[in-house]
Amino acid sequence: MKTSFFRAVSAIVRKDLRIEFRSRELISMMGLFALLSILVFSFALELDRIARQEAISGVLWVTVIFASILGLNRSLAAERDQGNLDAMLLAPIDRPAVFIGKLVGNFLFSLLVGLALLPVMAALYNVNMIQPWVLLVLTLGTLGFSAIGTVLATMTVQTRTRESLLPIVLLPIALPVLLAAVRATTNILSGAPQDEWIAWPQILLVLDVIYLTLCVLLFEYVVEE
Binding site for other proteins (CB under 8 A): 1-4, 7-8, 10-12, 15, 18-19, 22-23, 82-84, 86-93, 224-225
Give yes or no for a contact between 175 and 78, defined as CB atoms under 8 angstroms apart: no
Smallest distance from the beta carbon of 75 to other proteins, in angstroms?
12
Tell the burial category of 170 from Cβ atoms under 10 Å away from its Cβ (0-12, 13-18, 19+): buried
72 or 93, CB closer to other proteins?
Answer: 93
CB 152 within 8 A of CB 170: yes
Least distance between other proteins and beta carbon 25 (Å): 8
Give 20 or 208: the residue with its C-beta nearer to other proteins. 20
- For the chain, how long is the longest CA-to-CA vector? 64
Least separation in angstroms between residue 92's CB and other proteins is 4
Write down the least CB distance from residue 152 to other proteins, Å: 21
DSSP annotation of 94: -
Distance of closest approach, residue 225 Cβ to other proteins, in angstroms:
4
| 22 or 160: CB nearest other proteins | 22
Other beta carbons within 10 angstroms of residue 221's beta carbon come to: 10
Given the complex with other proteins, which of 47 and 90 has the nearer CB atom?
A: 90
The span from the CA of 195 to the CA of 218, in Å, is 36
C-beta closer to other proteins: residue 3 or 42: 3
